[in-house]
Amino acid sequence: MGKTKKAWGGRFGEGTDTQVEAYTASISFDWRLYPYDVQGSIAYARALMKAGVLTGVEAGRIIRGLEEIKKELDKGRLDPDPAHEDIHMYIEGRLIEKIGEVGGKLHTGRSRNEQVALDLRLYLRAETGEIVREIRALQEALLDQAETHLDVIMPGYTHLQRAQPLLWAHHLLAYVEMLRRDGARFRDGLQRVTVMPLGSGALAGTAYAIDRAALAEELGFPEVSRNSVDAVSDRDFAVEFLAASSITMMHLSRLCEEIILWASTEFGFVDIPEAFATGSSLMPQKKNPDVAELARGKTGRVFGDLIALLTAMKGLPLSYNRDLQEDKERVFDAVDTLRGTLQVLAPLLRGLRVNADRMRQATEEGFLNATDAADYLVSKGLPFRRAHEVVGKIVRYCIEQRKRLEELSREELSRYSPLFDAGFYTYIALDASLHRRAVVGGTAPKQVRKAIQVIRAELKKEMGKK
Ligand code: ARG
């Protein structure tokens, strides 16, 4: 039956079934929390000493023991036997093995329920810092692309139909904005991550004189949790993290979808660097955008992680329930997927080769300047709704005649309105169209250059803060 004697085995006459051990164990994945578990335990040992539970000598031995265990684990020396249950029991067991009975004093007044909550919070604080940095690196890659191609014009789309001309840089800056909100969401979430739960005990609060404020300070958390029942039950911070991850992945997936389209022969707008593309086992000519496709595909995993945790939470009575152990694989999967995607997309974007001629050609067909033609009539005093109709009719004529708006003669134009004169042709030119959109947030080159400066300055300031 049972393989090992359990730390909690006192009230049991029988060992644990091995299948149950395998089913309930979390050590195969929660080993990733070990640096944080050790950090939390060291802080807790100090708190126990201050509370008079441990002597200075005892606390010293425990802390040194924990530091040695951390070193062992850094070297990958973990025994992943499910009989150990989880990383918390593993480290405690190893501590007692190393320093003897006194190691058994560490868990005085403490529960794994608060311990695991702290570990996950410490872990998410660290990962959030990395994610914020990686989001910024991707923004820089997009900004560099935008800045080196400030003169590239592309068709802008609505409904995936050519709509109005845009600067390619302006289009890229849209993603910089999405990522700006993503970074802000992760940073904001930190407020709810960095709440210190130790002292909550199993659920009712510890009976020992633990200085919770000092513990929070030692761990660099600005707040202590205010209710012990909530502290061991709450996973809002993890749900929020998964929501922020999902939204970021949704943005990355949209970007990847566009890269896939742009790299197709049909569009031919960009070339993916060869080191970031893949071939076909059968078709010798193929160069496929697998990285972008996988990023799009993996987005579903992260959405799944969010829904899985929300679903695990929705029926839980207070306070701790073992269901909460299911949070970790979801969080780890989201972290790995999001960070892996951010890391691979930054160099891919930097290496993207832009086919400026193809993009410009694409703006020449599809009447992208039809709005400008209507605006031209408006500038001559025609109400917009009438101008819209006139230009609509002209577009219809152009389609029949296989002509562009700028190819129509003055005589042809005059059949639709007496307001047309020689100024029409310069008014509807691509560059004029771009330059007129000079509002804040518009695609006029002057505004786009300014937008790049503004976001660069913001990123620099943000980096200074960290
Ligand atoms: N492995 C557990 C988890 O991840 C740790 C807490 C276990 N607590 C308990 N009372 N069984 O949630």
Domains and CATH numbers, the chain: 9-108 (1.10.275.10), 113-208+222-356 (1.20.200.10), 362-465 (1.10.40.30)
**What φ, ψ does residue 154 adopt, rounded to 5°?**
-130, 165
- Ligand 1 centre to CA of 193 (Å) is 19
Span 93-136, pLDDT tens digits: 999 999 999 999 999 999 999 999 999 999 999 999 999 999 99
Which ranges in 10-55 belong to alpha helices (H)? 18-24, 27-30, 34-50
Span 413-455, pLDDT tens digits: 999 999 999 999 999 999 999 999 999 999 999 999 999 999 9
- Let me know: does 139 contact 408? Beta carbons within 8 Å: no
Average pLDDT of span 169-184: 98
Predicted local distance difference test score (pLDDT) of residue 3: 57
Taking the C-alpha atoms of residue 449 and residue 73, their distance in angstroms, rounded to an integer, is: 50
- Name residues whose C-beta falls within 8 Å of residue 37's C-beta, 6 or more positions apart in sequence: 87, 88, 91, 115, 119
The first and second tokens of residue 405, run together, are 């708006």
Residue 1's pLDDT band, with cuts at 50, 70 and 90, is: very low
As to burial, measured by CB atoms within 10 angstroms (0-12 exposed, 13-18 middle, 19+ buried), residue 413 is buried
The first and second tokens of residue 451, run together, are 């937008």
- Let me know: does 215 contact 44? Beta carbons within 8 Å: yes
For tokens 């570990």, name the residue: 119
Predicted local distance difference test score (pLDDT) of residue 287: 87
**Is the pLDDT assigned to residue 151 strictly greater than 60?**
yes
Ligand 1 contacts (CB < 6 A) are 26, 30, 86, 112-113, 116, 320, 322, 324-325
Taking the C-alpha atoms of residue 425 and residue 365, their distance in angstroms, rounded to an integer, is: 16
Span 213-243, pLDDT tens digits: 999 999 999 999 999 999 999 999 999 999 9
Average pLDDT of span 7-28: 92
Q: Which atom of ligand 1 is nearest to the CA of 320?
A: 10
Residue 10's pLDDT band, with cuts at 50, 70 and 90, is: confident
**DSSP calls for 302-340:** HHHHHHHHHHHHHTPPSS--GGGGGHHHHHHHHHHHHHH
For tokens 């091995």, name the residue: 18
Element (H, E) at 196: strand 195-196
Start-to-end CA span in the chain (Å): 53
Q: Which atom of ligand 1 is nearest to the CA of 328?
A: 4
Give the SS3 label for residue 346.
helix
Average pLDDT of span 397-415: 97
**Is the pLDDT assigned to residue 2 strictly greater than 60?**
no
The residue contributing the CA closest to ligand 1 atom 4 is: 325
As to burial, measured by CB atoms within 10 angstroms (0-12 exposed, 13-18 middle, 19+ buried), residue 141 is buried
Q: Which of 28, 264, 280, 414 is catalytic?
A: 280
Which ranges in 149-235 belong to alpha helices (H)? 168-193, 212-219, 228-233
- Dmax over CA atoms of the chain, in Å, equals 102
Any catalytic annotation for residue 159? yes
The closest of 55, 37, 46 to 95, measured between CA atoms, is 37
Span 281-332, pLDDT tens digits: 888 888 899 999 999 999 999 999 999 999 999 999 999 999 999 999 999 9
- Let me know: does 184 contact 244? Beta carbons within 8 Å: no
Q: Could you give the angle at which helices 384-401 and 370-379 cross, rounded to 10 degrees? A: 140
- Let me know: does 76 contact 11? Beta carbons within 8 Å: no
The answer to whether the bond into 319 is cis (omega within 30° of 0) is: yes
Cβ-based neighbour number of residue 347 at 10 Å: 16
Residue 465's pLDDT band, with cuts at 50, 70 and 90, is: confident
- Ligand 1 centre to CA of 141 (Å) is 42
Predicted local distance difference test score (pLDDT) of residue 4: 66
Any catalytic annotation for residue 280? yes
Give the SS3 label for residue 211.
coil
Give the C-alpha distances (Å, rounded to integers) separating 429 from 164, 250, 256, 371, 380: 12, 36, 31, 12, 17
Amino acid at 297: G
**340 CB-side CA count, 13 A:** 14
- Ligand 1 centre to CA of 114 (Å) is 9
Average pLDDT of span 378-389: 97
Span 19-58, pLDDT tens digits: 999 999 999 999 999 999 999 999 999 999 999 999 999 9
Span 238-281, pLDDT tens digits: 999 999 999 999 999 999 999 999 999 999 999 999 888 888 88
Span 62-83, pLDDT tens digits: 999 999 999 999 999 998 899 9
Predicted local distance difference test score (pLDDT) of residue 283: 86
Span 52-64, pLDDT tens digits: 999 999 999 999 9
- Ligand 1 centre to CA of 150 (Å) is 55
